[in-house]
Each structure stands twice: as structure tokens, then as C-alpha cells.
């Protein structure tokens, strides 16, 4: 999970970024290659001008064939309209702090988006004027570990329903209080023939806990079923709710199938032989799923098993957590799975959505799934079989010294492409803007166990590089099929993780003076203390910059084409090197551009030349845009718009909150 449910935290932070990392993070012109555009066709009544899915097409490439906005004129983009969703929570009054992570979709001339309060809005895409709004009336004071956020909706066209009839186009939303809701795309009224007068409860899962089992990402739709995952606060206790993935009939709401990523019987057999009771939960799909209708496949990215940092009660690989899994759309049948991390002890979720593309490899056209995770590795898998297209080898990794823990002896390392984020950091590499800062960072790093990537948690304290924000996170990536380039934003924030014996946990919480986050991992023999590593004087990361990058990977060759710093932790201050951590991903267009916001502390939307990585446009936003943008062309006037949600990152407490949906267009 991206943000676990936290136990008491020592609130003596002095840095706005430290506050964020402690309280927040834890807590297409047609393609030249055959088949590359196969996933962009859809049945929602639109065309390439629309953006009918979270990732533009059903396979999540985030590639738009529009080129009205291009390298030559992007510098003239201006704000066309701004819409305010009106939903902001600063975290007071028993409510969690809100964020605005929605990526709108455009279907048949209407723009649909969500607020952090789960309200659904329909807007005129030309003017930004509201057509309707639906409020599911969630309990805003719920204990939602991810805070008040939602990343958007999904749409479905009922081919059996005549034009003009209610609910011919259905808008599906999953809510923080665990409901699946179906709305009429034309009016916003609930589709009364779906479930119980327009909604289905998603709370009927093993070990359900209100608030700690919720939904933040849009569902996936394949043919006549709606597929939903869940967000689970997987680090607060051992036996968290089941991470079951379920599919419901898009017309009636009836349950069609369900799939368990961590089947208790299979996992229990190994642990029973060792005389232990197998206990865990989660392994859930909290990020965005994608589909291949031609193959009748749903691709599911899964997160870590609970709790994140101690696995002694869940021995074995914990399949299929930390994986990408292909399920049959009609039946939920398991087709294949590939695990990116065995027996996860680092919170290294498969947070990024899978991406479906077609590559030219070894003289052949290969349909692939591209899946990255927080380690910074990218895995390229055959879409039909899950077999790696670029070789992957199991390599020995550091082993635990914690009583009761059994680490995986190996982990899967792709031989190509190279990692897109740093994966090691020595004390000699410690960075600081002053000699005093460097020395502080050096001493902090020297005190930790540091055996490279996959150094397991320890009682002494271990270094985690990347930390649990990544590498890659839910921001994901975008693929330009014309140039075979995958554009991805990554983070470079080293973290400390230290196990705390349960009998000492509360005493340490009361007396520890180090900034960080304590979580009890209830039911385990160890709690966890985590913090990102900063120099205390100037509050900049101890890793050499850049602390955030944008990278283009040549997916035909398996090499990095370019990599540049993304944003700045101190905009306007040339003394601070470039590169800011980001949450909120890129899109690419046939205009030769990659657009991205997402940068923390840095409230900007940027355009990069997709072939060179040169930043060629930047526009200020009302606050940081912690979301992925989208683009479309209206049919009425034929204008291309670029839209981004700007509401601040939920955990960055000194970013001013806002509630803006901002649309740009050419003069």
C-alpha cells in the first residue's frame, strides 16, 4: 500500500518535505509498428479525439494521437478554463486530509471526474461548466489510510440499450467506504437496475475493517463486467482484509467472479509443515488495472502482503502479492502471473499500472505487458504467456538476521532495460548542500545495515534504496509507439527502516526523538520505525541529486534514451540542484510532447520533447498537480485541450491545498 495506517508519530518536524515524507508517503498519428494501436479502439462511441479510459486506451498507453498542440506551438498554451470541485479537507475535525488525484475521462462529449470526497462531476469539455454532480455521501470522518483521494471513474456503453434511454452510458465509481456505484452518464442519476438502486456493497470480504478497506482507483471494464480491486492499510497489522479482486455484471451488479491473490490454503500448506499458522492479508490491487478485450484478459498489479516489514507469519514467496497477473475477463480464471518481488519486506508494491503495447523485438512483433515497481526495475513480459521478453535472472540477495524471519534467497533482476532509479547508496556517496550536512548524512548512513538492493529490515536499522515511495509509484508511465519510447517519472529518496520488538514498542514511541513514523504491525513480534534520510540543517535528501527524474526508455533496444531532472525542491533557488520527487504520471502525444505535473513543492505543469528530454514549456498551477493529466479535442470547435487536477499532494502539509481542474488550450 502507498500509505499505511499509522500509529502515533512524533510531531516535531521542521521541514515541509520531512513533514510530507513522514506523514504522507508512508502513510497517436497511427503507429508504424503493426498492432501498436490495437488497444486504443473502444466501444464507448468516441474516437482518438476522446480520452475514454484512465490511460486513454483500455491498455493504458497514455498516448494521444492528437498533434494540434506540438513542439512548435506548445509555448503559447494558455489557461482556457478552471473548474473548482469545492471539496477540501485540511485534516481537522476528525477527517483525513484530502488530495485531488483524479484524471478525467472524456466520453461522447462529456468530461467526467471525481473529487477526494468521491463526488462525481460531469463537465462541458469546451467551457468547463458543470452539467451535473453526484454525491455518494461518504462518511468523511472515516479512518481512510490513504486520506480523502480518488483517481477517477470508468465508463461503459451498454450495446443492448437504445440511444436516449437511461444508463446507456454508465459511469462507474468505487468509493472510500467500499461501494461500487453506477450512474447514468447523461444525468448523473443512479442506474436503479444495478445492484441495490444503483450501488453494490464491496464490504463482504474476509477480515473487513471499516476505513482500512477502501477504494481509490477507478475500476476496469471488459465487455459486460466491471472489475474492482481495493486499497488496504497493509502495514498496521498482520491479518488485514483479503485483497480479493472481484467482477460484477455491468447491467445488474451481480457478482460474476472473484480471485484471491493470497489463497490461504495454498500458502498455509508450507507454513503448516513448519509448525506455524499462516497469517497475512492484503496482496491487493490498489492501483489501476488494464484490459485486453481481444484476448479477454484483465491485467492486475498487486501490492505487498501484510504486514510490510515482517514476514515471519507468511513464509514463502507470498504469491501472488507484488505481481502482475493476467485473469480471464469472463470467468476470472488465472491465466498467468509474474512476481516482481518474492516475500516482500520493503513495501515494494507493483504500484504502477500495467501498460499494454506491441514491440519489435528480435525481428518479431511481440504483444507485451510492461510492469514496473518501486524498485525502479521495468519488466517486459509476453502478453499471452507472461514470459520475460528481455531476460530476467534470479540473483542471490542479502539475508535477514531477524529472529523468526526467513527471507527469499533470490529476487528477479531484469537484464534489460536498466533500472530507472538509483538502487544503492554508500556513506561515501552522502550528499549535503554544506559540509556539515554531508557529515550528518554520512554518519546516518554509516549507522545502518547497507548491503545494497533488498537489504532486509533489521533491529539495528537498514537502508532501503529506493525507499517505499519508489522508484516508480502509482504515477506509472506513458508509451509513444512511434518512437518506441516509454516515459516514466521516478523518485530518489533513501529510507531507514528499523524493526522494534513488540515489548519495547510503546516505550520507544514515547521516548524516541528521531523524526519518523512508527507503525505497530499488530499481531507481529515487531513494529516498524521508518523515516526518509535528510540532513537536519537544510532538510534536503542525503542521496546525491536529482531526487526526481523523467526518463525515456527505448523499449525496442532495452536501453535508456535520455534522463533529466524533473522539477525542483526549491523552485527559483539555483543553489539547490534540480529534481523533485513526484506523484502523478506522464502522458505523451503525437505532437512530440510528454506532459507531466506531479512534482512536490513545485506547482508546475511541464512539456518535454519526447525525443530529446528537453523541457520546452512550463506553466504555473494554483498548487502542485498530484495527478496525471489528459488531453482531448472537442468536436464542436475542434480545439485540443490539456487538463490537469491541481489540489496539492495529500501528504505535503505545507503545499497550499486547492480544488482546481485546470484546462489549457492554444490561443
Count Cβ atoms within 10 A of the Cβ of residue 11 and give its class: 0-12 exposed, 13-18 middle, 19 or more buried: exposed
264 burial via Cβ count (<10 Å: 0-12, 13-18, 19+): middle
Measure the CA–CA gap between 50 and 634, rounded to whole angstroms: 8
Q: Distance (Å, rounded) from C-alpha 321 to C-alpha 303?
A: 6
> Cell 522494534 identifies what position?
500
Contact 490, 470 (CB under 8 A): yes
Q: Minimal CA–CA distance to 148: which of 85, 199, 81, 215? A: 215
Query: Would residue 347 show up in a list of annotated catalytic residues for this protein?
Result: yes
> Strand, helix or coil at 490?
strand
CA proximity to 416, closest of 382, 378, 473: 378
Q: Which residue from 304, 284, 300, 302 is spatially nearest to 292, judged by alpha carbons?
A: 300
Alpha-carbon span 516 to 461, nearest angstrom: 13
292, 347, 480, 515: the catalytic one is 347
CA 248 to chain centre: 23
Cα gap 371→266, rounded to integer Å: 25
* Upper half-sphere CA count for residue 26 (Cβ side, 13 Å): 28
Q: Buried b / exposed e across 132-161, counting CB within 10 Å, b at 16+?
A: bebebebebebebbbbbbbbbbbbbbbeee
User: For residues 305 and 315, what is the distance between their CA atoms, to the nearest angstrom?
Assistant: 11
Phi-psi map region of 436: left, alpha, beta (phi>0 left; psi -120 to 50 alpha): alpha
Computed on alpha carbons and rounded to an integer, the radius of gyration of the chain in Å comes to: 23
Q: How far apart are alpha carbons 550 and 434 in whole angstroms?
A: 26
As a dihedral over the C-alpha atoms of residue 371, residue 376, residue 377, residue 382, rounded to 10 degrees, the angle is 10
Beta strands in 316-377 (DSSP E): 323-328, 334-339, 355-361, 364-372
Do residues 431 and 541 lie in contact, with contact meaning Cβ atoms separated by under 8 Å?
A: yes
Nearest to 231 by CA among 131, 160, 150: 150
Task: Supply angle C-alpha 358, 361, 367, rounded to 5.
Answer: 25
Which are the catalytic amino acids?
347
Amino acid at each position: 500500500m502507498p500509505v499505511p495506517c499509522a500509529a502515533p508519530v512524533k510531531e516535531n518536524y521542521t521541514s515541509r518535505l520531512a513533514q510530507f515524507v513522514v506523514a504522507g508517503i508512508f502513510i497517436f498519428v497511427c503507429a508504424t509498428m503493426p498492432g501498436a494501436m490495437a488497444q486504443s479502439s473502444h466501444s464507448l462511441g468516441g474516437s482518438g479525439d476522446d480520452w475514454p479510459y484512465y490511460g486513454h486506451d483500455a491498455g493504458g498507453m497514455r498516448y494521444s494521437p492528437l498533434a494540434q498542440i506540438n513542439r512548435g506551438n506548445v509555448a503559447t498554451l494558455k489557461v482556457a478554463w478552471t473548474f473548482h470541485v469545492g471539496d477540501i479537507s485540511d485534516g481537522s475535525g476528525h477527517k483525513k486530509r484530502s488530495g485531488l488525484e483524479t484524471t478525467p475521462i472524456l466520453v461522447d462529449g462529456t468530461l467526467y471526474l471525481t473529487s477526494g470526497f468521491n463526488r462525481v462531476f460531469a463537465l462541458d469539455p469546451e467551457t468547463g461548466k458543470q452539467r451535473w454532480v453526484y454525491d455518494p455521501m461518504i462518511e468523511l470522518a472515516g479512518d481512510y489510510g490513504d486520506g480523502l483521494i480518488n483517481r477517477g471513474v470508468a465508463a461503459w456503453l451498454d450495446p443492448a440499450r437504445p440511444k436516449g434511454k437511461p444508463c446507456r452510458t454508465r459511469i462507474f465509481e468505487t468509493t472510500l467506504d467500499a461501494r461500487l456505484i453506477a450512474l447514468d452518464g447523461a444525468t448523473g442519476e443512479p442506474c436503479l437496475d444495478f445492484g441495490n438502486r444503483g450501488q453494490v456493497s464491496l464490504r463482504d470480504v474476509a477480515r473487513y475493517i471499516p476505513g482500512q478497506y477502501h477504494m481509490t482507483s477507478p475500476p476496469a471494464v471488459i465487455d459486460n463486467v466491471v472489475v474492482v480491486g481495493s486499497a488496504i492499510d497493509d502495514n498496521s497489522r498482520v491479518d488485514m482484509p483479503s485483497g480479493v479482486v472481484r467482477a460484477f455484471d455491468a447491467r445488474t451488479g451481480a457478482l460474476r467472479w472473484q480471485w484471491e491473490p493470497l489463497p490461504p490454503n495454498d500458502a498455509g500448506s508450507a507454513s503448516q509443515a513448519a509448525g506455524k499458522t499462516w497469517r497475512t492479508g492484503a496482496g491487493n490491487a490498489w492501483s489501476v488495472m488494464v484490459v485486453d478485450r481481444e484476448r479477454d484478459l484483465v491485467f492486475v498489479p498487486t501490492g505487498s502482503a501484510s504486514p510490510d516489514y515482517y514476514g515471519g507469519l507468511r513464509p514463502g514467496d507470498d504469491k501472488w502479492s507484488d505481481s502482475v497477473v493476467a485473469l480471464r475477463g469472463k470467468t476470472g480464471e488465472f491465466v498467468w502471473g509474474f512476481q516482481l518481488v518474492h516475500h516482500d519486506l520493503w513495501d515494494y508494491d507493483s504500484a504502477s499500472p500495467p501498460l499494454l503495447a506491441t514491440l519489435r523485438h528480435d525481428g518479431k512483433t511481440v504483444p507485451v505487458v510492461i510492469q514496473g515497481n518501486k524498485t525502479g526495475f521495468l519488466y517486459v513480459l509476453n502478453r499471452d504467456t507472461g514470459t520475460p521478453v528481455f531476460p530476467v535472472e534470479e540473483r542471490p540477495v542479502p539475508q535477514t538476521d531477524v529472529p523468526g524471519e526467513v527471507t527469499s534467497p533470490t529476487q528477479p533482476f531484469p537484464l534489460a532495460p536498466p533500472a530507472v532509479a538509483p538502487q544503492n547508496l554508500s556513506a561515501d556517496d552522502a550528499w549535503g548542500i554544506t559540509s556539515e550536512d554531508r557529515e550528518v548524512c554520512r554518519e546516518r548512513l554509516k549507522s545502518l545495515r547497507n548491503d545494497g538492493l533488498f537489504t532486509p529490515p533489521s533491529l539495528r536499522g537498514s537502508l532501503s534504496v529506493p525507499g517505499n515511495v519508489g522508484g516508480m509509484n502509482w504515477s506509472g508511465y506513458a508509451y509513444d509507439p512511434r518512437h518506441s519510447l516509454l516515459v516514466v517519472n521516478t523518485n530518489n529518496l533513501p529510507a531507514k527502516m528499523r524493526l522494534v520488538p513488540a515489548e519495547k514498542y510503546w516505550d520507544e514511541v514515547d521516548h524516541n526523538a528521531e523524526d519518523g513514523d512508527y507503525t505497530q504491525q499488530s499481531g507481529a513480534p515487531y513494529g516498524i520505525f521508518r523515516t526518509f534520510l535528510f540532513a537536519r540543517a537544510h532538510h534536503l535528501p542525503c542521496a546525491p541529486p536529482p531526487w526526481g527524474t523523467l526518463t525515456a526508455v527505448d523499449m525496442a533496444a532495452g536501453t535508456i534514451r535520455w534522463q533529466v531532472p524533473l522539477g525542483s525542491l526549491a523552485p527559483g533557488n539555483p543553489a539547490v540542484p534540480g529534481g523533485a520527487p513526484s506523484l502523478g504520471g506522464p502522458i505523451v502525444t503525437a505532437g512530440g510532447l510528454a506532459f507531466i505535473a506531479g512534482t512536490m513543492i513545485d506547482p508546475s505543469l511541464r512539456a518535454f520533447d519526447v525525443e530529446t528530454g528537453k523541457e520546452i514549456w512550463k506553466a504555473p498551477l494554483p498548487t502542485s498537480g498530484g495527478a496525471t493529466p489528459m488531453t482531448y479535442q472537442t468536436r464542436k470547435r475542434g480545439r485540443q485541450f490539456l487538463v490537469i487536477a491541481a489540489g496539492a499532494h495529500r501528504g505535503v502539509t505545507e503545499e497550499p491545498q486547492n480544488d482546481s481542474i485546470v484546462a489549457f488550450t492554444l490561443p
